Amino acid sequence: MRRSKTIAPSLTQNGRRKDSQNLHDPALYINRELSALDFQEEVLEEALDTSHPLMERLKLLCIVASNLDEFFMIRVAALKEQIEAGIVEPTPDRLSPHEQLRRIRERLLALYARHEQALLEDVLPALAAEGVRIVRYRELTRQQQEHFRQYFTSDVFPVLTPLILDPGHPFPRLLNRSINIAFNLSSRDDRSERSVGVLQLPPVLQRLLRVPDTEGYAFVLLEEVVQANADQLYCGWEIRDSYCFRVTRDAEIEIAEDEAEDLLREIAEQTRVRNWGADAVRLEVDAAMPAGLRQLLMRSLGLEPDDVYAHRRPMNLHDFLTLLKLDLRHLKDPPFTTRIPPEFQGDSSHVFQMLRSRDVLVHHPFDSFSNTVVKLLRTAAEDAAVVAIKIILYRTGGDSPVIEALKTAAMNGKSVTAVVELKARFDEENNIVWARQLEQAGVHVVYGVLGLKVHAKAMMIVRREEGSLRTYVHIGTGNYNQTTARIYTDFGYFTARPQVGQDIAQLFNVLTANARHVQTETVVLAPEHLGTHLLSLLNDVTEASANGKRCRISAKLNALVDPDIIRMLYRASMAGVQIRLVVRGICCLRPGIEGISDNIEVRSIVGRFLEHSRMIIIEHESERRVFLSSADWMPRNFYRRVELLFQVPDSTIADELSQVFEVYWRDTVKARILQPDGKRTRPDLSDGAPLLSAQHYFLDRIRRTTT
């Protein structure tokens, strides 16, 4: 990478830096929403990659569709709210909400077209060739149609509620992201009498229905069965035609926590409102739906033409993930066995003794979650010497062994505290269910912090040893969720260092007692200090480089949005600091701008696993500091969440983390390089650079150590 000319920072009289360049120039920033769509483009690109097994390609297409649902429910909804309120939140790129929505639609029309083509003309035909078919109802034999008519009568008809729109029956409140059918009807008594029927398909019904008497695996979609047998629903009416549609609603939960007497009840109510009563932000329709019917739906939902997206493909692609349950291993990624680190192998009775002697790093999903984190927690639940367990729970998943271990610990008489974040987006209902289970088992449940989301990942176990108490700590970059621990990459750090234990105890005091102005040595907490501490770290490196020292910043993140951090990175680049960033998703920084960011390179990696780990490496001459963090570099993480930044105290583990980063940085197979114009390109291999996939490298490494 070409190094820019070293520029010493100039200061004003009050000691603040004076930029020789205007680092507030909107041209220096990529729009956050458009960058989020860039990430979806990368996921779609992976779905188009024929080196992936077919079922994995289908899964990626379903993930893109689900991610875009969330994008509309959160990001597009927020832009619409700004416009409606007449309040414009300034963004570094200075695009107005109207202009952002215009560009979003322009990008999405092209993205949806590629997505639809990939599904209908590539993946589904290829699956059909392998014996997995989605069959149109009209293609069924007479016997098969009769089978589904009987199925409709016995298993579907009783739970359907057909509606007709007339003055006595206004347009219904439709469930968020449910599949609905609109019927154009004519009266059998008077064919000039026309009406429109609306039917919502309840989510309790199975979507993909197995076709009997066929070879391989053939499925027909529920909506086609309903459409073909709707004469039983609208007796006395002739069904002229019918079309599917789907409504997406604003999903952001807004709670006045200082006014909510019962936060648990209020969140449950707001979740219900999100599903049924929130404003519509998008209408998806069958591409064949006539204009008059589209306009009726738009008027009824309060939407404009630019809010309508027409598809030829089936809706609710998430339902197609059920196909992954078919026993067709040759169409899926090969299974892998996670590594059990040597420190956690064998009988669990030695685990505390082991942690007293050394710290341990695990890298999920390559290292086992159940045989490290869960094993430690289960051991603590049964160990008579353990007196207390404290843990932060953001997302845990269903049938969680973590929840079961906590319940066991409480029933065994230990003091167990769980800080539960009820506002974890789209997991609110699940969190409410198991939070109540924990309370019933005797766990002391604390529901987050007023006005903040608790996003830090930490657990502490207090054990009585030789007449005194010792604290064992786990700090992670990911959630205590056994399911995502096999599909997300994350780091976990185990230690029994007294100072770390004391600092994590302070964190829990912040969460449970609203403690303030706490002093910590090994961790930095948000929202009090993390943002300013990170700026200080970057500033120190910048000034050292400006004074002729050799410095480098390396970081692996999920998102880079915070404008203050971006400006500091620009200053560091201008001062000659080499900056390497692996940013999986949103990145608002523009690398490679001459004189400003030509010392910054940004890469992203999209592969079999979702890159979720966060690490920072600060190098200053021969000194190196390595950090793990729960926080991305976004304003919400610095100022509206409880997060932590942890400096790795063990030099051997710091070396290991640095080596992990280097593997990611050398990825030439799944990496994309961010260009100054915001486009992401594959690495240039014309110079003979070796092919390397970081994720495959780590998988191959555990295969070598487990065979």
CATH topology of domain 358-516: Endonuclease; Chain A (3.30.870)
Task: Judge whether 27-130 and 358-516 match in fold.
Answer: no
Is 159-207+222-316 a domain of CATH 3.40.50.800? no
**Global pTM exceeds 0.85:** yes
Give dist(CA 411, CA 405) in Å, integer.
10
CA dihedral defined by 436, 438, 443, 444, rounded to 10 degrees? Answer: -40
Whole-number pLDDT of residue 21:
77
Is 525-706 a domain of CATH 3.50.50.60? no
Whole-number pLDDT of residue 274:
45
Is 27-130 a domain of CATH 3.40.50.150? no
Nearest to 26, CA basis, from 674, 571, 588, 569: 588
Whole-number pLDDT of residue 513:
87
Nearest to 419, CA basis, from 350, 514, 501: 514
Whole-number pLDDT of residue 260:
41
What CA–CA distances, in Å, run from 180 to 128, 555, 559? Answer: 27, 45, 35
Nearest to 238, CA basis, from 195, 199, 198, 297: 195
pLDDT tens-digit map of 408-442: 999 999 999 999 887 645 555 666 777 888 999 99
Nearest to 301, CA basis, from 248, 243, 223, 242: 248
What CA–CA distances, in Å, run from 218 to 140, 155, 208, 211, 272? Answer: 10, 20, 9, 5, 35
pLDDT tens-digit map of 607-648: 999 999 999 999 998 899 999 999 999 999 999 999 999 999
Nearest to 207, CA basis, from 61, 315, 57: 315
Counted residue by residue, the chain has a size of 707
Give dist(CA 33, CA 101) in Å, integer.
9
Whole-number pLDDT of residue 5:
33
Whole-number pLDDT of residue 168:
73
Q: Take residue 608 and report the two structure tokens written for it.
A: 């079999």
Give dist(CA 329, CA 348) in Å, integer.
34
Name residues whose C-beta falls within 8 Å of residue 707's C-beta, 6 or more positions apart in sequence.
none
CA atoms within 13 A on the CB side of 316: 21
What is the domain partition of the chain in residue ranges? 27-130, 159-207+222-316, 358-516, 525-706
φ/ψ of residue 629, rounded to 5: -150, 155
Name residues whose C-beta falls within 8 Å of residue 164's C-beta, 6 or more positions apart in sequence.
185, 195, 196, 197, 198, 234
Question: Which residues of the chain fall below pLDDT 50?
Answer: 1-18, 254-261, 263-264, 266-267, 273-274, 276, 424
Look-up of token digits 């007796």: 235
Query: Long-range contacts of range 162-166, CB-CB < 8 Å, 24 or more positions apart?
Result: 162/197, 162/199, 162/230, 162/233, 162/234, 163/197, 163/198, 163/199, 164/195, 164/196, 164/197, 164/198, 164/234, 165/195, 165/196, 165/197, 165/198, 165/296, 166/195
Three-point CA angle 404, 410, 412, nearest 5°: 100
Give dist(CA 703, CA 248) in Å, integer.
43
Name residues whose C-beta falls within 8 Å of residue 381's C-beta, 6 or more positions apart in sequence.
389, 405, 406, 408, 409, 412, 414
Tell me the H-state helices in 185-262: 222-228
Active site amino acids: 455
- Encoded amino acid at 29, one letter: Y
Give dist(CA 508, CA 391) in Å, integer.
8
CA atoms within 13 A on the CB side of 308: 21
Whole-number pLDDT of residue 306:
97
Q: What is the DSSP string of 491-546?
A: EEEEE--HHHHHHHHHHHHHHHH---S---SSEEEETTTHHHHHHHHHHHHHHHHH
